[in-house]
Structure 1
Amino acid sequence: NYKINGKSIRKSHFDLLCRIQPNQVISLILSDDSYTPNQSQLFRSLVSIEQFTRLRSLKLIELDDDGASFFSDLYKLKHLVSLEINLKDKLPFIKTSPPLQRLIINIESGVHYDIDPLITMIQSEHLRQLTLSNCSCSKLQQIFHRAIHLISLKISLMFTDAKEMAILINFHQEQSKIIALKSLSLSIEGYGDTITRAHLEGFLTPLKCLRKLELIISCFIEPECYDANQWEIFIIKNLSRLMTFNFNFSHVRIDKNVLNQYRHPFWMNKCWFVATDESYSSIYSVPHFSSTSIKYSSIPISSKYTTLPIDQHITCYDRVTQLEYDSGRRKAHYRYNYIEKIYLTNLNIDKNAINLSKVKSLIVKNAQWTFSKILI
């Protein structure tokens, strides 16, 4: 059994991989991103997808035609249980699909498609893991009704009017079976109306089996939605199995009293720590939603804006992968261990403060520096 991963692979190596007998391959990843352009075209010139009779997992990354050339024959892959698509330009058309157990469709942030036609063609009866963007509430209701074995769901909803948003309140009204969902990531965007506690509780209350919950709300919400005391009561009563709870609420107006509610034992004992920005306009879980980008000159995290214990502040810095090195005057309070990209505006780098072994990109922001000066 072979697993072929074409992501970031050299063309010469990929040519060798394509010599493997297709019926011996159980997992295949193809990519047309900037590191491996035209890979899917080369693949199609050598083999056809229906030859992979034992294929169980297929991942397509930014294909030039967004995978359209593969999907017409997708139903012929009788053993395919996992399909993942990273879209580049357009939504693919799947005529029909095999009985998938895992379906992930990743859409670039800020890009919106009408994904409903695609969902209609997917056989969801066997789905256990599903990731979708820009899904409508009505289609999501159909998914819950048909995908009775679903245990993990990552979904984003875009609301344009109050009527559509109101569906959330009675979302599960016609659902008679127990919902076995254990992991939920729900992202809500919209304009024109406000998310209320009734919306959230109406959607979440029947999900008694949930162990992991992530909420991302990027529209206006009423203060009750981020009231820690009300969340505590709701979770104890309705989501007693919940082990992990991460949220990110923007467009809010909070004060110190709101943050102090999250210092109560219920939250601290579960290690459900939160933080707010300095303008108190957002509240989010840390380190889960801590920023991955930072300026070297930024002031250290203040306990005034977070419930995270001071000895755990390092966990936020460990999430940082992009660093703007704009000053060498301040001594770093923490070491940056996972930096992949550095924006350089100052050459006095404190090498003890940054692990340079993981850096993949160096962007120089001073056109007057010579190459030799940077190397020194």
Structure 2
Amino acid sequence: MYSLQTLPIELVHRIFDQLDIQTIIFSIRSTCKLLYAITNTYNRCALNFRYTSKSDLLLMSLIIDPKNVISLTLSDENETHSEIRFMFSHFHIDQFTRLRSLTLSNIKYDDLEKFQKHIMNYPLKRFSISSNILDSTKIATSISFILSHHNLREFEFDGSEQILNEIQWPVSCRLEHVTIAQWYSWSTVYFVLSHLTFLRALVLKDDSAGVSFKHSIITQYDIKQLCHLSSLSLNSRYNLTTDNIQSLLVHLPMLTHLRLIGLQHLSDIFLFDGFQWENFIEKKLSALKKFEFWFRKQLNPHEDNTTVESIISTFRTSFWLKTKGWFVKCDHVENRYGQQLYLYSTTICQDSFDYLNGENTILRSATNNMNNHSAVIINTQRLSLDLNKYISNDTQQNTNGTTQYLFQNVRELTLMIGSHWPMRSIKYLSTILNLSNLQIICLHCKHRSHIETHGLDAVIGTLFKYTLNLRSFQINCNNFQTMLSMSLNDICLKLPHHIKHLATDIINMNDAKMILERAEHLSNVTFYRRDTYSFADEINIWLRQHASDSICKVGRDFRFSSYNDELHFPVHIWLNNSLHKQSNTPVSEKRVKRTHYT
């Protein structure tokens, strides 16, 4: 008989590689003497403090040797207020001598400067940073210095155009993989490609607002062929054209992987023509092995279902089906905005996916391999889903023998709530996505829905049992009284201990206080209110009396209530639950209790 205790230490450590550090430290480590010792020798710790309470962070600083940490993720977002500076006060950052990956989210310049003093001594291979600091010059200077690290191979940037434009790419830079979360012009693409001679993969995500590419790429005749790039992923929130794409791709003859995502409606009909793509790829991208894309366009009222067949027929040549083995699907969809056409490769790869949110009805669907029974795999981190409509649609699709959609890597799930939860909804969810991967769930009450709350607490309880890695639970009640009552009694007061962040609408101050009184396991709570400042003042008074050192402030990101056309702003509360309320037990004693073994 084999058990965890009888496995070789190397295999146990391989199992640890698949677990979060909280599970390793607070669950496995305290089980027995053997696992206590094995945990202490584990030297591949990945610390992700995004949803870690300050109490847990403090305890981990006493238990974990920085020399055993290879990956570190820190954030100063709403859920993790002042986490980076708190980390500085409890860890010696100069002792992270084996750190290979560093992620800093919403970091301030002073905090980045502290890391910069030690970062060149780390064996760092991956560096990710997001920052919206107005003083772009200082941030850009620090980033430029870090990019000269001789071991650095992967860089991810999410920040303003000013910071991006002021980064000086060092001559010694040996980056092989670059991700830019917000790209603002085609010149950015050319600039990065021409300055990074070791670059193999470039990912351009476009999440910026208000940026419009009104002009085509101006072909730069002095740019040489960039044979070093083998993978390009380009997401555009604005209009892609054949000229723009082909003017770029002609300089990248050695591409083996290409991904093109057009998030808005496209007007260039040639993007939907398989013959055009076949001709271009054979002449200019002969090395291409993997081609992924997602295009959509608005249909004119006179266009009908035959449009789907006419488009998909251009992808049914031997080039697509035999030579390359690339499968394509085309959907004719109707919703309140009219009729659209979706053309995409399978598998679908997107950061966020809300195509099946309940508003869309598929009128006609076809694939180039003539097999509508095959499942479409959708690789996405964030999924929005109207459960009632989706189950109804899926049942109808299965009856008609059409496609089923499967979601493999969802981390953030938004569920639209109608008048009731469908029967066996949790079981059904478990068949289309891996619930154990979920870290964030948001319940969204639809406009003026009448919620049937009978048995909902049992449904939510079952959901929590399947989502043991869940760290954040969010509820958009739309100021609907039944939903507010349900969220308080059936959800907020019954959250399991592995959830560290709660966000919800709230009406009564007493309800807010009741949640805070029972929130010892939460690191932060966000309440949405209309009268935000008076509510925050009263919360601050209560915190001074019951939870010293906790912080409360009003946020800027508002939520629109479609129920009564009001704007609700967030009140963020960061709870100091470390050492537990009104407890005088020393930290060292609490560490012994937390790590006690039998």
State TM-score, norm by structure 1: 0.78
Q: 1:195 aligns with which of 238, 241, 249?
A: 241
CA distance in 1, matches of 2:332, 2:237: 20
Structure 1 counterpart of 2:290, which letter?
T
Of the three residues 312, 315, 320, the one matched with 2:377 is 315
Correspondent of 1:43 among 87, 92, 99: 87
Other-structure match for 1:351: 424
1:266 aligned partner: 319
Segment of structure 1 superposing worse, 240-249 or 272-281 = 272-281
Measured at CA, do residues 298 and 13 of structure 1 come closer, stay the same or move farther in structure 2, by a change above 3 Å? same
State the alpha-carbon separation in 1 of the partners of residues 316 and 85 from structure 2.
56
Indicate the residue corresponding to 1:186 in structure 2.
Answer: 234
Pick which of 2-11 and 308-317 moved more.
308-317
What are the within-5 Å matches in structure 2 for residues 232-311 of structure 1?
Answer: 232-251=278-297, 255-256=307-308, 257-269=310-322, 270-278=325-333, 279-288=339-348, 291-295=353-357, 299=361, 302-304=364-366, 309-311=371-373
**One-letter identity of the residue aligned with 1:342:** L
Pair member with larger Rg: 2
Larger % of helix: which? 2
1:250 is displaced (CA, Å) by 4.0
Q: Write the letter of the residue equivalent to 1:170.
A: Q
Residue type at the aligned position of 1:6: F
Q: What residue is the counterpart of 1:170 in the other structure?
A: 220
Give the residue type in structure 1 aligned to 2:456. I
Counterpart mapping for 1:213-232 below 5 A: 213-217=258-262, 218=264, 221-232=267-278
CA offsets 1:167-202 (integer angstroms, 9 cap, x no match): 3x336x3326x52211101234557xx8343x3223
Compare 292-301 and 254-263 and name the one that shifted more.
Answer: 292-301
Q: Is residue 152 of structure 1 aligned with residue 195 of structure 2? A: no
The residue identity in structure 2 corresponding to 1:349 is P
Compare relative contact order (CA 8 Å, sep 6+) and give the higher one, 1 or 2. Answer: 2
Contact 2:204–2:235 under 8 Å retained in 1: yes
8 Å contact kept, 1:342–1:361: yes
Residues 11-90 of structure 1 mapped to structure 2, 5 A cutoff: 11-19=54-62, 20-47=64-91, 49-63=93-107, 65=108, 69-71=111-113, 73-74=115-116, 76-78=118-120, 79-87=123-131
Alpha-carbon deviation of 1:37?
A: 3.4
- Give the counterpart letter for 2:374 in structure 1: Q
Equivalences for residues 130-145 of structure 1 within 5 A: 130-132=178-180, 133-145=182-194
Residue 119 (structure 1) aligns with: 167
Secondary structure in 2 aligned to 1:142?
A: helix
Deviations 1:291-315 (A, max 9, x none): 4452468656743587672121453
Number of residue pairs aligned between Structure 1 and Structure 2: 362
Query: What 5-or-longer segments of structure 2 have no aligned partner?
Result: 1-42, 334-338, 399-403, 459-598
Deviation at 1:15, TM superposition (A): 1.6
Distance 1:195 1:298, change over 3 A: closer
Per the alignment, do residues 296 and 30 of structure 1 end up closer, same or farther by CA in structure 2, a change over 3 Å counting? same
Of 322, 325, 348, 2:387 maps to 325
Q: Does 1:5 align with 2:48?
A: yes
- SS in structure 2 opposite 1:274? strand
Q: 1:127 Cα shift? A: 0.5
The aligned amino acid for 1:144 is L
User: Does the residue aligned with 2:233 lie in a helix, a strand or coil?
Assistant: strand
Distance across 1 between alignment mates of 2:170 and 2:86: 28
Task: Please report how far the alpha carbon of residue 48 of structure 1 lies from its aligned counterpart in structure 2 after TM superposition.
Answer: 5.4
Q: Give 2:255's aligned residue.
A: 210
Shift in alpha-carbon separation, 1:15–1:264, aligned structure 2, 3 A: same
Q: Give the 3 Å change call, closer, same or farther, for CA 156–227 of structure 1 in structure 2.
A: same
Q: Given the superposition, is the C-alpha separation of residues 221 and 204 from structure 1 closer, same or farther in structure 2, using an over 3 Å criterion?
A: farther
Q: CA deviation at 1:69?
A: 1.6
Identity of aligned residues (%): 20
Shift of 1:220: 5.2
Is residue 433 of structure 2 the alignment partner of residue 375 of structure 1?
no
State the Cα distance separating 1:153 from its structure 2 match: 0.3
- Alpha-carbon displacement from aligned partner over 1:217-242 (angstroms, at most 9, x marks no partner): 45755333432112112212222221
- The residue identity in structure 2 corresponding to 1:60 is L
Paired with 1:329 and 1:141, the residues of 2 have a C-alpha distance of 47
TM-score, length-normalised on structure 2?
Answer: 0.52
SS at 1:208 equivalent: coil
How many Å separate the matches in 2 of 1:152 and 1:231? 22
1:272 to 1:320, Cα distance in 2 relative to 1, 3 A: farther
8 A contact 2:141–2:168 mirrored in 1 = no
